[in-house]
Amino acid sequence: MAFDAQAERNFKVVGTRVTRPDGIDKVTGKAAYGADVSAPGMLHGRILRSPHAHARIVSIDTSAAKALTGVKAVVTGTDLAQPEDEAFADVAINCLARDKVLYDGHAVAAVAATSKAIAKQAIRLIKVNYEKLPHVTDVDEAMKPDAPVVQEGRALETVPAGMSQNVTTHCQFGHGDLEAGFAKADKIIERSFKTAATHQGYIEPQACMASLGSDGRGEVWCCTQGQYMVRANCAAALGVEESQLRITASEIGGGFGGKTSTFIEPVALALSRKAGKPVKIVMTRDEVLKATGPTISTSMDIKIGMTKDGRITAARGELRYSGGAYPNATVDMGAQAAFAAYDLEAVETVGWNAMTNRPKEIPYRAPGAPTAIYAVESVVDELCQELGLDPLDVRLMNAARKGTRSSYGPTFNEIGLVATLEAAKAHPHYTAPLGPNQGRGLSCGFWFNFGGNTCVSLNINDDGTIGVVEGNPDIGGSRASISMMAAEELGVPYDKVRTVIADTSSLGFNDITDGSRVTFAVGLATIEAARAAIKEMCRRVAKIWDIDEEAVIWEDGCAKPAGPNAGTHPPMTLAEIAAIAGKTGGPIAGHHEVNADGAGVSFGVHLCDTEVDRETGAVKILRYTVFQDAGKAVHPDYVEGQMQGGAVQGIGWALNEEYIYGEDGRLQNAGFLDYRVPVASDLPPIETVILEIPNPGHPYGVRGVGETPIVPPLAAVSNAVSRAAGVRMTELPMSPPRLLKAMTG
């Protein structure tokens, strides 16, 4: 759907800062999240997990657990179906292992009991006989031909023969003559980088309550980024039909991509089916860190050539990602995103994914992009330092713009990178003085943004209010944005609209809340649904006035005669039309179903000032500013919130967060004490500047905003630290011991 011709549109609701509809419940403790509901007769489920990084399951003896008073069901991998589809099969096997455990924390068995305490006691009574296997947790080690093989036969056809069986993916993007490009360079820098896996770190652990009868009919309540995805995964894992499962998404306590898969719902359903009672499973934080998420760990080589006046002549990247014990396509996105901010004559990015004995990678906000862009932006920064060039000017000189053939193929339409860079250059932050041991870093960031499958139903109620039914869990205020767009289009006040999120039986299929798609795609479908309802209201009014449908227009929430020829009828308000709908043809509604494209890529630029402590290696973030193109900021507060939250997650990734594995392949820091996410006292205010370069693919110009802001911080912080410390940092996180070592040699 194209951007409205009326580009100068005077928005009445969109762009204001209204109060969110789910707000009061969330500040009073009433909002019901995944773990907050109970059912009569409910049992408590608990999962037994592997203590080994890699082992064959020789046998499982559940007899003692079953014999414990209060235990009502025990399940193992054989209680789940074996779906033919590889993606469904991976989810099922990840929910409950069958022949092998693939990482420390892999689920092996589960019990349902009358109390949490009994369930906890029961899993200790399950005896699993393991035959330990050699393991590998480092991506470079995993790619060696003699590395322990995590899974056999999983490589795509694109992977050349002779490599380790752990290598599942090989991809390549780019254009131009690299050799000629590098020959033109005055300076070439080639660097290798490593980044640790990080976790999405949502504060609400996965939780669900599930009930499944022997007739195959079931209900699930769970915190998820996509109830339809949960339905598909559960149906495949349980061998039941999708129509028989009704999945309701609870309020969700953070996701950031981490709740785009299922870990416990199929297990709870299997337990429920055996026990004949509803089963609730709530993960512990230890389980969340060991068995859900995290993102990829990486090893990357970047080579960039630049002329002495700052033009990039050629760029090459080689990315080696590990998404844990299963194949995944995250490296494809990293390889596509790596050089997206630049207009390049010669560029190539090669990507590899290798399996390791780590938990299954789950998307984390702009999956694949932050690490690749970190490496690229670090080398660009170092080139600027070496050549004595201003890093913002160099980025402006090389910036992708409308008409640029992107490094991954498509030619860009209207994009906001140059405007975003110019805003950063004009901001007082960029020229503010720095003291000793302080440094300023900057980085560009990019994300594709997605549209996807979307259904919206919009009902005109008889009292003139509006009900919008959509199917995407609201992860950061999207119900407010959707209501705003409905109100804008219909010409009614925001508080006349209530948007609810449907369960899977109440609305057609919707893709998960991912790809920064909801405000874009659900918004687009809402606007179209509102237009359908307006068309119907105009038709009803034309009937009343006895004129042609085309002679009735919709303006400011009223049907009006189109012009003098249509007669002198007084306008009819939406409420007046709604009140007599029963007499003019029945209830009035609009709906729209679409696989939305045209999401419109998004760019951001981050500025970061840091100070390093030369005695301890600690880094203090002194000042941080985020510039981002939002297309059109529907609710500016929540756009700023995405920019700030993404930036801080990226700061955590840059400075402290990491999965630490021991020689034994076990995760050593599965808790918030040792897996250290940023806290309030670590941070300064996060300043924001929203730019609005309309997305041609949305009627109001909206672009997704949620993912781009986690992309630039890794390099912005690393460049600031490198400049402050006087040593180029090439590994994340830059935790105090690592930085201290770099500074002291």
Q: How many residues bind other proteins (CB under 8 A)?
A: 60
CA-to-CA distance for 325 and 665, rounded, in angstroms? 13
Shortest Cβ 106–other proteins spacing (Å)? 21
Shortest Cβ 478–other proteins spacing (Å)? 10
Q: Which of 210, 302, 647, 691 binds other proteins (CB under 8 A)?
A: 647
Shorter beta-carbon distance to other proteins: residue 404 or 688: 688
Shortest Cβ 651–other proteins spacing (Å)? 8
Q: Which residues contact 149 (CB under 8 A, 6 or more apart)?
A: 164, 165, 166
Query: How far is the CA of 232 from the CAs of 239, 245, 515, in angstroms?
Result: 10, 9, 19
Shortest Cβ 28–other proteins spacing (Å)? 5
- Binding track over 455-494 against other proteins, x by CB under 8 A: --------------------xxx-----------------
Q: What six digits make up the tokens of 100? A: 């092998």
Q: What six digits make up the tokens of 555? A: 């303006």
Can you say how many angstroms the Cα of residue 296 is from the centroid of all Cα atoms in its chain?
Answer: 13
Shorter beta-carbon distance to other proteins: residue 78 or 284: 284
Shortest Cβ 289–other proteins spacing (Å)? 10
Shorter beta-carbon distance to other proteins: residue 168 or 472: 472
Cβ(95)–Cβ(153) below 8 Å: no
Q: Which of 11, 19, 85, 664 binds other proteins (CB under 8 A)?
A: 19
Shorter beta-carbon distance to other proteins: residue 21 or 368: 21
Shorter beta-carbon distance to other proteins: residue 30 or 308: 30
Q: Which of 47, 155, 282, 559 binds other proteins (CB under 8 A)?
A: 282
Shortest Cβ 252–other proteins spacing (Å)? 6
Shortest Cβ 16–other proteins spacing (Å)? 12
Shortest Cβ 623–other proteins spacing (Å)? 12
Residue indicated by tokens 């859900």 = 292
Smallest CA-to-CA distance from 227 within 202, 205, 204, 252 is with 252
DSSP 521: I
Edge-to-edge strand list for the sheet holding 297-306: 167-175, 347-354, 312-322, 297-306, 187-195, 731-732
Shorter beta-carbon distance to other proteins: residue 20 or 540: 20
Shortest Cβ 19–other proteins spacing (Å)? 5
Shorter beta-carbon distance to other proteins: residue 407 or 478: 478
CA-to-CA distance for 479 and 523, rounded, in angstroms? 10
Residues numbered 600-639 forming contacts with other proteins, rule: CB under 8 A: 635, 637-638
- From the list 1-9, 21-29, 302-310, 510-518, the region that binds other proteins by CB under 8 A is 21-29
Shorter beta-carbon distance to other proteins: residue 35 or 235: 35
- 423-429: long-range pairs with CB below 8 Å, 24+: 423/605, 423/627, 423/689, 423/691, 424/392, 424/605, 424/607, 424/625, 424/627, 424/689, 425/392, 425/393, 425/396, 427/607, 427/625, 427/627, 427/689, 429/607, 429/609, 429/623, 429/625, 429/687
Cβ(439)–Cβ(725) below 8 Å: yes
- Binding track over 204-233 against other proteins, x by CB under 8 A: xx----------------------------
CA-to-CA distance for 576 and 330, rounded, in angstroms? 52
Smallest CA-to-CA distance from 257 within 224, 280, 230, 288 is with 224
Edge-to-edge strand list for the sheet holding 127-132: 100-101, 55-61, 127-132
Residues numbered 675-694 forming contacts with other proteins, rule: CB under 8 A: 677-683, 685-686
Q: What angle do CA 354, 358, 363 make, to 5 degrees?
A: 75
CA-to-CA distance for 89 and 109, rounded, in angstroms? 17
Shortest Cβ 483–other proteins spacing (Å)? 15
Shorter beta-carbon distance to other proteins: residue 28 or 431: 28
Cβ(701)–Cβ(632) below 8 Å: yes
Q: Which of 278, 641, 701, 704 binds other proteins (CB under 8 A)?
A: 641
CA-to-CA distance for 322 and 328, rounded, in angstroms? 9
- From the list 139-147, 203-211, 264-272, 419-427, the region that binds other proteins by CB under 8 A is 203-211
Q: Is 40 in the site for other proteins (CB under 8 A)?
A: no
Residue indicated by tokens 């495949």 = 236
CA-to-CA distance for 262 and 280, rounded, in angstroms? 14
Shortest Cβ 706–other proteins spacing (Å)? 10
Shortest Cβ 195–other proteins spacing (Å)? 19
Residues numbered 73-112 forming contacts with other proteins, rule: CB under 8 A: none
Q: Which of 513, 649, 708, 735 binds other proteins (CB under 8 A)?
A: 649
Can you say how many angstroms the Cα of residue 511 is from the centroid of all Cα atoms in its chain?
Answer: 13
Shorter beta-carbon distance to other proteins: residue 78 or 115: 115
393: number of Cβ within 10 Å: 14
Shorter beta-carbon distance to other proteins: residue 476 or 694: 476
- From the list 22-30, 263-271, 293-301, 720-728, the region that binds other proteins by CB under 8 A is 22-30
What are the beta bridge partners of residue 175? 347
CA-to-CA distance for 736 and 28, rounded, in angstroms? 39
Q: Which of 3, 13, 14, 36 binds other proteins (CB under 8 A)?
A: 36
Shorter beta-carbon distance to other proteins: residue 50 or 644: 644
Smallest CA-to-CA distance from 322 within 349, 294, 348 is with 294
Q: Which helix (H) or strand (E) holds 399?
A: none
Q: Which of 13, 14, 22, 96 binds other proteins (CB under 8 A)?
A: 22
CA-to-CA distance for 382 and 159, rounded, in angstroms? 33
Edge-to-edge strand list for the sheet holding 497-501: 497-501, 466-470, 452-460, 588-596
Q: Is 284 in the site for other proteins (CB under 8 A)?
A: yes
Cβ(496)–Cβ(487) below 8 Å: yes
Shortest Cβ 287–other proteins spacing (Å)? 10
Backbone angles phi, psi at 88, to 5 degrees: -65, -40
Q: What six digits make up the tokens of 172? A: 């390549």
Q: Which of 29, 388, 435, 745 binds other proteins (CB under 8 A)?
A: 29
Query: How far is the CA of 407 from the CAs of 18, 172, 281, 519, in angstroms?
Result: 40, 11, 45, 27
Q: Which of 84, 433, 673, 745 binds other proteins (CB under 8 A)?
A: 673
Shorter beta-carbon distance to other proteins: residue 254 or 276: 254
Shorter beta-carbon distance to other proteins: residue 585 or 684: 684
Q: Which of 33, 412, 430, 545 binds other proteins (CB under 8 A)?
A: 33
- Binding track over 115-144 against other proteins, x by CB under 8 A: -xx---------------------------
Shortest Cβ 548–other proteins spacing (Å)? 46
Q: 15: left (phi > 0), else alpha (psi -120 to 50), else beta?
A: left
Residues numbered 236-275 forming contacts with other proteins, rule: CB under 8 A: 251-256
Q: What six digits make up the tokens of 608? A: 């970061």
Backbone angles phi, psi at 308, to 5 degrees: -70, -20
Residue indicated by tokens 């034309």 = 542
β-strands 588-596, 452-460: how paired? antiparallel
Shortest Cβ 687–other proteins spacing (Å)? 8
CA-to-CA distance for 158 and 169, rounded, in angstroms? 7
Shorter beta-carbon distance to other proteins: residue 302 or 647: 647
Q: Is 189 in the site for other proteins (CB under 8 A)?
A: no
Q: Which of 336, 644, 695, 718 binds other proteins (CB under 8 A)?
A: 644
580: number of Cβ within 10 Å: 12
Q: Which residues bind other proteins (CB under 8 A)?
A: 17, 19-20, 22-24, 26-33, 35-36, 38, 116-117, 200-205, 251-256, 282, 284-285, 475-477, 635, 637-638, 640-641, 644-649, 671-673, 677-683, 685-686
